[in-house]
């Protein structure tokens, strides 16, 4: 009898455990899609060429490529799981095949927690990603914040936490174009809007010393750069069309850097220093993501998906 009771109790416990596990699985599977996607890896999946999850290591996920050089890098809680913390640091990678081919369009996305760092003596950029080319500071593709343009705190004591973001390309065959987000309407822009309503727009900007999601897209079909911050367009439409390049012909070999430009180890320029700050979930696509997909990416990664 005791054996039968023990057996029945065991069966009951197994059933309860199974029910609990099943409920958990159902709950996870029943999370509503965001923008038509169940997780961030589904967005632009066929055109994704690189992804650094930065979950405790610097390995690029698609090619399984580890850094060839690591300086001032550690890992801590990031925007989604773990993230990369850089203290005057950077990650350098060997050439990655997917990032060595010419592009007709691209998107770079990242989470970052940075702040302005200008001092009376110097100030330096915060490089999210640069696809470096031989012997040049400016890479084939570049995505970074101009944190050296403004002090973290003004002489008045006011915190200067508006982050200026810049994206662009530079190659021998294609020349170069760069674009930065607008963080205020200048007086001449306001006057211009009187005769050309809506020509200049001051969109939302990023705030330093906190996690923010940064995305830059470029489309060779329209010659247009667009910068997004936290899922919302931040760039001024009056200046988004830059040059007449329909494609970017890369200088090779291409050496990816997270946290620095390619000449960081050989330059004496005070602005060209390794990064101090945090980054997470860096992705590169060979297409310009739509605004809807950019917003979905932000929402999904923010939700840990």
Distances in whole angstroms, Cα of residue 222 to Cα of each of 63, 105, 189, 243: 30, 10, 23, 10
Q: Is the pLDDT of residue 90 over 60?
A: yes
pLDDT, tens digit, 9 for 90 and up, residues 110-158: 999 999 988 877 789 999 999 999 999 999 999 999 998 888 777 777 7
- The answer to the question of residue 84 being in a domain is yes
- The answer to the question of residue 26 being in a domain is no
Residues 6+ apart with CB under 8 A from 17: none
- The answer to the question of residue 20 being in a domain is no
Q: Name the band, by pLDDT with cuts 50, 70 and 90, for residue 96.
A: very high
Q: 124: helix, coil or strand? A: coil
Q: Is the pLDDT of residue 11 over 90?
A: no
- The answer to the question of residue 210 being in a domain is yes
The predicted model scores a pTM of 0.86
DSSP conformational letter for 284: E
- The answer to the question of residue 36 being in a domain is no
CATH of the domain at 247: 2.60.120.200
pLDDT, tens digit, 9 for 90 and up, residues 24-78: 334 435 799 999 999 999 999 999 999 999 999 999 999 999 999 999 999 999 9
- The answer to the question of residue 260 being in a domain is yes
Number of domains in the chain: 1
- The answer to the question of residue 217 being in a domain is yes
- The answer to the question of residue 86 being in a domain is yes
Full residue range of the structural domain in which residue 56 is found: 43-302
* Mean pLDDT (whole number) for 198-224: 87
Q: Are 174 and 198 in contact (CB under 8 A)?
A: no
Q: Name the band, by pLDDT with cuts 50, 70 and 90, for residue 183.
A: low
For CA atoms 251, 256, 260, 266, the dihedral sign is: negative
pLDDT at 302: 97
At 229, phi and psi to the nearest 5?
A: -130, 125
More confident residue, 15 or 239: 239
pLDDT at 277: 97
């Amino acid at each position: 009898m005791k054996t039968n009771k023990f057996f029945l109790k065991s069966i009951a416990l197994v059933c309860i455990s199974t029910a609990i596990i099943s409920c958990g699985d159902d709950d996870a599977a029943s999370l509503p899609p965001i923008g038509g996607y169940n997780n961030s890896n589904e967005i632009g999946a066929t055109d994704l060429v690189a992804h650094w999850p930065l979950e405790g290591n610097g390995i690029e996920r698609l090619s399984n490529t580890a850094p060839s050089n690591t300086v001032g890098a550690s890992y801590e809680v990031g925007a989604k799981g773990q993230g990369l913390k850089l203290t005057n640091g950077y990650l350098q990678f060997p050439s990655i095949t997917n990032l060595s081919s010419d592009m007709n369009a691209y998107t770079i996305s990242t989470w970052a927690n940075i702040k302005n760092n200008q001092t009376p003596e110097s100030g330096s950029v915060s490089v999210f990603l640069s696809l470096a080319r031989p012997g040049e500071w400016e890479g084939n593709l570049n995505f970074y914040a101009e944190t050296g343009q403004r002090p973290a705190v003004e002489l008045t004591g006011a915190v200067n936490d508006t982050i200026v973001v810049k994206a662009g390309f530079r190659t021998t065959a294609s020349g170069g174009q760069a674009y930065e987000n607008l963080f205020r309407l200048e007086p001449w822009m306001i006057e211009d809007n009187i005769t050309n309503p809506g020509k200049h727009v001051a969109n939302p900007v990023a705030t330093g010393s906190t996690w923010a999601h940064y995305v830059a897209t470029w489309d060779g079909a329209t010659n247009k750069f667009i910068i997004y911050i936290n899922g919302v367009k931040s760039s001024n439409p009056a200046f988004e069309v830059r040059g007449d390049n329909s494609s970017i012909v890369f200088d090779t070999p291409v050496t990816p850097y997270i946290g620095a430009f390619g000449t960081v180890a050989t330059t004496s320029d005070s602005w060209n220093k390794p990064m101090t700050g945090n980054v997470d979930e860096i992705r590169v696509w060979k297409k310009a993501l739509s605004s809807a997909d950019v917003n979905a990416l932000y929402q999904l990664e923010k939700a840990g998906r």
